[in-house]
Each structure stands twice: as structure tokens, then as C-alpha cells.
Amino acid sequence: MTGSSYLYPEFLTKDQLANLKLYKYAAIDRSLTTKYVLKHYWNWVIELFPMWMAPNLITLTGLMFMMFNVGVAMVYSPDMVDGPRWIYFSFAAGLWLYSTFDNVDGKQARRTGTSSPLGELFDHGCDALNCSFAAILQATAVGLGNSMTSVVLYGLAMLGFYLSTAEEYHTGILYLGYVNAPTEGVIISCLVFILSGIYGPGLWQNALGDYVRVPAALANVTLANALVGWLVLMFLFTHAPVCFYAMYKACRKNEKPFLQTMIIENMPIALYISALFAWVSSPYSYILSHHHYALFAITTGFVFGRMASKIILAHLTKSRFPRFTIQLVPLVAGAVIANLPRVFNISPIFTPASEFKYICAFFAFALIAYLRWASLVINSFCNYLGIHCLTIPKRTKTL
């Protein structure tokens, strides 16, 4: 779209749009797997894509593989505990294809001369949405079911992505370490999916002590819980400290008060995670007991998608760090409603039926609000930059 209308009003200010002209993509990938293996694979794969295929269309197609598999999981394994073996192989293929498409879209942009700040926003926006999709598939593959452990896995994905996005906002550089989620994390997840396909998800309910020598206190911990526990430790002792240290250096360089900045800028994710856990953990909520977790995760995934994408948008337009999104309101309200009986000793407000209807309404609101916001932002970018989002305009030949 290149023309504005009453359906697509100007969304960003003139100053924000003008800052798009200053855009310059910057990324550092320290992964040895990328350097010595995957880089060559991606260079081979990109030659398979036709020149007419827009980079953003490649990104979106990759996300569709994940969306398809989430649908498969909800149909064939609604309890997120056990399902036909073939679905786990489908999970592995879908995640690998998503990762492949996600890594070649930039190459396609350079190959076709269509690089733009919209590409980075679109790419990271899809990555943000994929956090919830991947968490659902991972929990299903190891048979965690509708449990608090699944919620912990989900929360880790959101916190990790949020901090990385906030770090890029401050430093202007997308940094991927020697071991990172988009590379080694994807490979490990694919291997987990394949093992579940071969042996079944029941494999991950075996005791850790049956496979390795560990202290007696850990011997009866399931492989699934050990895997999640390892991810928690990796987040606490590697990912989070690296992100905060990078933001600390950026704040010092720009003469910003670090502690105050971190408190303010992390309030949205703190509110998001707190409300999410408070709602699901309430004894007066039926999300887990009635197997509504996948729908809940997808719904709150749209909320997170908008939160993270707004940070990327602020980075590209050199705007103030975003501090709120209206989509948080139903999430906080749901958490309050579910916990009122605990606080005031009153009769439960939610029933299994009414809570499910509330989540369905929340899903519709979150989806519509996200799509409307995304379309307005994309249209503003396209109008100002004179580009198309999902197509590459044909170039007229000049004599």
C-alpha cells in the first residue's frame, strides 16, 4: 500500500518517520555453529528462493509453519501430554523451517535490493509472536501438559526475548552470544522433538538419575523438569546478566541513570509476567485444570508480541521506550478476578464456563488489536519509504 486513506491514517509522527532514514542494521553473532556450519547452509538455501519473493513474505511463511504445528498440537494433543508420534517430527520440521526462513530473509533483502527498517520490524515482530508458539510446542513435546512448569517455560521465553530486545534498543546492536537461543536453542529443541517422535514424550518423564549420576536430591527429578531447571539457570546466570551489563554500559555512555532506567523500562514485562502467573496459579482459575492453557498462551502471546514490537519500533524511530499497551488491561483484569476470592474471602467469580468465555473474548480482542496496530505501523512505513510489505514491485525497464 502506498496511499493513505481513512482506513489507514498516518500512525507515526513526522519526526519518527524521518528517523527511519537514519536506519542502519547492526548485528553481532558469535555462534561458532553459525560461523562454521549454518552460514554455508543458509547461503545454499537462499538460492532456492525466487527473486520475486519479498523478504517479509519469507518471514511470514516461516511463521506459518509454527502456527500450523500449534494447530496440530491443539487438535492431536489437547492435554499437551501425549499425541501421535508423527506430530513431534512435524514440530521439528516446522521449527527448523521457521529458523531457516528467519535467517535467509535478510539475505533475500540484500539479494533483491529491498533492505529497509520495515524488514527488521517485521522479522523481530514475527520472532516475538513465535515465543508463545515455540513454548507451546516444547511443553507438548516433553509432556509437561497444562502445568505450572509449562507456564515457567513460557515465562522464560518471554523474559529472555524482552531483555534481548531492550538491549538492542539501548545498544543499537542485535547481539547473539557464542551459545544463543536462535541458533543452538533451535537445534536443541529440534533434537528434543525428534527424540519425542522416536521414543514418545513419555521419555521425558523418566527420572534424571536413570541416565546420569546426580545427587540423591535430584535423582527422581524428571528429565522434563531437569531441562526446564537448566533453562532457568542459563537465563539467570548467563542471558540476564549479559543483557543487563550491556544496557549498563549503554546507559553510562549516554549518561542515563541505570537503575532508574531499568526499573521504569522493565515495569511492562514485570506487570505482564506477574499478572500471567497470578492468574494461572490461582486456585479459582481453571486454565490448567480444564486444558485451556494453549489458548491462554496464544492470547497472551499476542500481548507480548505487541509489547516487544513496540520496543523495536521505538529503536527504529529513535523514540522513547514504550511503557504500556492497552492489551495488558484484560490480562491484569483476569488476574484480579481470579484472585479476588483469595483476598476478600468471597465466592469465586469465575466458573469454568465463564473463564473460558472471558479468555475467548480476550483472544479476539488481543488478535484484532494486534493486527490493527501492526497494519497501521506497516502502512506508515510503506507510505513514507515508498515500499511494499509483502511484494517486490516490478521495475520498469528504461531505454
Catalytic residues: 124
Angle at 159 between CA 221 and CA 151, to 5 degrees: 45
Contact 136, 281 (CB under 8 A): no
Compute the CA torsion angle 248, 254, 255, 258 (nearest 10 deg): -30
Q: What are the CB-based long-range contacts (under 8 Å, 24+) for 196-201?
A: 196/85, 196/88, 196/91, 196/141, 196/142, 196/143, 197/85, 197/86, 197/87, 197/88, 197/89, 197/92, 198/85, 200/82, 200/85, 201/81, 201/82, 201/83, 201/88, 201/140, 201/141, 201/142, 201/143
Q: Is 398 exposed, middle or buried (0-12, 13-18, 19+ CB in 10 A)?
A: exposed
Q: What is the largest CA-CA distance in the chain?
A: 81
CA–CA distances in Å: residue 303 to residues 95, 233, 272: 22, 26, 9
Contact 71, 295 (CB under 8 A): no
Angle between helices 240-253 and 148-171 (to 10 degrees): 20
Helices (H), the chain: 14-19, 32-33, 39-45, 55-76, 85-112, 117-141, 148-171, 186-199, 223-234, 240-253, 258-265, 267-281, 293-317, 328-344, 352-385
Query: Which residues touch 266 (CB under 8 Å, ≥6 apart)?
Result: 162, 166
Residue type (1 letter), 18: A
Residue type (1 letter), 93: A
Secondary structure letter of residue 143 according to DSSP: T
Helices (H), 254-284: 258-265, 267-281
